[in-house]
Chains A and B, each alone.
Chain A
Amino acid sequence: MSATVRVRAGAAARPAAADRPDATVRSRRTGVRRLAGRVLAGLVAVAVSLVWVFPVYWMLLSALTPNARLRAMPPTFWPSAATWSNLRDVITGTSFATALRMSLAVTGLTVLVVLGFAFLAALAISRFRFRGRTAFVLTVLIVQMLPAEGLFIAQYKMLSATGLLNSVIGISVLYTAAIVPFTIWMLRGFVEGVPADLEEAAMIDGLSRTQAFWRITLPLLAPGLVASGVYAFLQAWNEFTVALVALPAESAQTLPLWLRGFLAASANKGVDWGQVMAASTLLAVPVIIFFLVVQSRMTSGLVSGAVKG
């Protein structure tokens, strides 16, 4: 068992191990075969990337296309008659800044609280055996199976009674409760991926329990925390149904509610799809920024700390 432990500790210090050139000497034939395999994998990866990126590109393209030319035949695959009007109109002509601030507040609060609470609970269920544990685990599992579509009246009544309608706190509590169950399970998976013996081995080496946790366990959990964090971020960021009832005032709108405003056909005009796509693009930008920041922080900051220790 202790051999495995050492191996794992080694892996922890080099999370990007997949890139390392092979240290093992092997026959030339396998080498060629592996190279061919790598090239093939690379080609498949590029093809997969294209499939996943194309609709996103199409959204961007539509955001830059005047409405009169949207969905024209034959299709144009590059912005031939590009216009910035759609993007300009959705930024200046509306309450974009207010909605952005609200969304950042709600999502920021939700992600921090979710990660904190879920991490503690995940530690409890994966590192301890205690009475009521199975009941808790089962409850958490079942809570996420309840369809949320039928809850809106109760959610509204609850917030209205406590004076929390249109508030960041009110909706964040609802979001946290909805996102925490899954995050607990997800993090539990990652915590169990780090054997408890690893911490104990470190403690034998003279670290305190807290030190062992910070230096050994947490860095190994970094990818899991990033994955769960991105999940929580996107859940809160794109949520629409709960926000609709919990934030009825226009001044408290989040970005998905703001985006919805562009989908309204009216007696005066049809849906302006160019603006819808421009607004959608704006909605996606903070997610990308969040991911890139978190990704680099988590991997560089925490893991390098572990290496130093």
Chain B
Amino acid sequence: MTTTTSAPRTRRGRRARLPYVLLIPAVAVLAVGMGYPVYWQITTSLHTYGLAQQFGQPAPFVGLANYTRILGDERLWAVVVRSVLFCLVNAFLTVGIGVGVALLMRAVNRIVRVVLQVSMLLAWAMPMVAAVTVWKWLFDWRTGVVNWLLVQLGATSYDQHNWFAQPLSFFFVASVIIVWMSVPFVALSVFAALTQVPDEVVEAARIDGAGPVATFRWITVPMIRPVLAIVLLLQIIWDLRVFAQIRLLQDSGAPVSETNLLGNFIFELGIGRQDFASAAAVSILVLALTVLVSWPYVRSLLKEDRS
């Protein structure tokens, strides 16, 4: 896309300053709201900082000791692998289903569309605690509707089936919940982006003989690409540090050590053991991991951005 280089000469000085002026509010609020906490996090990760330090005892500088200890922790790597897999599966599932729902919104008539939009919004508006609790109830081994339904449909082996006993089926239920909770955001955002795609262009492509798949791939996707990109990136970021849902699901009884993700790990170090320095170090490692996982993606975003 071309930029506005054709501005009249006389206004060039003001125009050159304008983008900086536009950025001031955002930069200021980021500096005020995030500056100190991020600084604190980085310095704390280089010191010994536990509950005693929080209550005023000196915090000795230990260099990278917190990092080396964590990287040497055998549990960390299992958690990292599990988290990355869980994150990628859920992020792509969410965006895939979300785009599907958005396309569905465009394909149906007005009434059905409103029904679909309101359903999505209701699910999005449901508080997380209530959502996880309800899903937990639905999958309960004793009184769950899912087991009851499966038994009614003839799958009697699901009577008293415990979905949370095995890590794999635990993560299946966790994924159902996470995808269910995240799809509304993706669907509504992508649908908003789709409204920017002019019907005439799609129509023209169709007249030229392009099938729906080709139209979607070559016309729609490029046009909603910026929104699609950021939505996927956000899902990756979120799903990599999902915590509260997993924690709530574990509360009903699950093989805890085999179902912990990175978020649980940070929580256990920070709140659980009051080892705030290690928790800070893990947070920064998670940041590095997120950059790593999303790097190909961030690079293409930046490349696209520069062109």
A–B in direct contact per CB < 8 Å? yes
CB of A27 to closest CB in B, whole Å: 12
A-B CB contact pairs (8 Å), 20 listed: A45-B113, A52-B119, A55-B131, A72-B143, A75-B145, A117-B26, A136-B27, A139-B30, A140-B26, A140-B30, A141-B233, A149-B279, A177-B32, A186-B230, A189-B229, A200-B4, A200-B6, A224-B193, A283-B130, A288-B118
Q: Is A202 engaged at the interface, CB distance under 8 Å to the other chain?
A: no
Q: How large is the interface on A (under 10, 10 to 19, 20 to 34, 35 or more residues)?
A: 35 or more
Chief secondary structure at chain B's binding surface: helix
CB of A42 to closest CB in B, whole Å: 5
Q: Return the 6 tightest CB-CB contacts between A and B, nearest first.
A: A177-B33, A189-B226, A280-B130, A11-B198, A154-B40, A223-B192
A213 to B33, CA, bound (A): 31
- The residue on A at minimum CB distance from B298 is A141
Give the residues in chain A near B44, CB-CB below 8 Å.
Answer: 154
B237 lies within 8 A of A58 (CB): no
Interface residues of B (CB under 8 A from A): 1-4, 6, 15-16, 18-20, 22-23, 25-27, 29-30, 32-34, 36-41, 44, 54, 101, 104-110, 112-113, 115-116, 118-131, 133-135, 137-138, 140, 142-143, 145, 148, 180, 183-185, 188-189, 191-193, 195-201, 203, 207, 223-224, 226-227, 229-231, 233-234, 237, 241, 243, 262-263, 266-267, 270, 276, 279-280, 282-284, 286-287, 290-291, 294, 298, 301-302, 305-306
B1 lies within 8 A of A38 (CB): no
- The residue on B at minimum CB distance from A20 is B199
**A288-B125 CB under 8 A given contacts A45-B104, A71-B140, A231-B189:** yes
A225 to B199, CA, bound (A): 21
A190 lies within 8 A of B33 (CB): no
Give the residues in chain B near A205, CB-CB below 8 Å.
Answer: none
Give the residues in chain B near A100, CB-CB below 8 Å.
Answer: none
**A73-B148 CB under 8 A given contacts A55-B123, A128-B3:** yes
Q: Is A16 engaged at the interface, CB distance under 8 Å to the other chain?
A: yes
A287 to B302, CA, bound (A): 34
A44 to B115, CA, bound (A): 12
B41 lies within 8 A of A151 (CB): yes
Q: Is A302 engaged at the interface, CB distance under 8 Å to the other chain?
A: no
A238 to B181, CA, bound (A): 13
A211-242 to B contact mask, C-beta < 8 Å, 1/0: 00000000010011011001100100010000
**A263-B193 CB under 8 A given contacts A55-B135, A56-B122, A62-B134:** no
A238 to B155, CA, bound (A): 38
A196 lies within 8 A of B143 (CB): no
Give the residues in chain B near A129, CB-CB below 8 Å.
Answer: 3
Give the residues in chain B near A196, CB-CB below 8 Å.
Answer: 1-4
Q: Is A174 engaged at the interface, CB distance under 8 Å to the other chain?
A: yes
A250-276 to B contact mask, C-beta < 8 Å, 1/0: 000000100110010000000001001
A185 to B110, CA, bound (A): 30
**A10-B121 CB under 8 A given contacts A145-B287, A177-B30:** no
A42 lies within 8 A of B101 (CB): no
A142 lies within 8 A of B22 (CB): no
A256 lies within 8 A of B104 (CB): no
Cβ-defined partner of B227 (8 Å) among A118, A186, A273, A284: A186
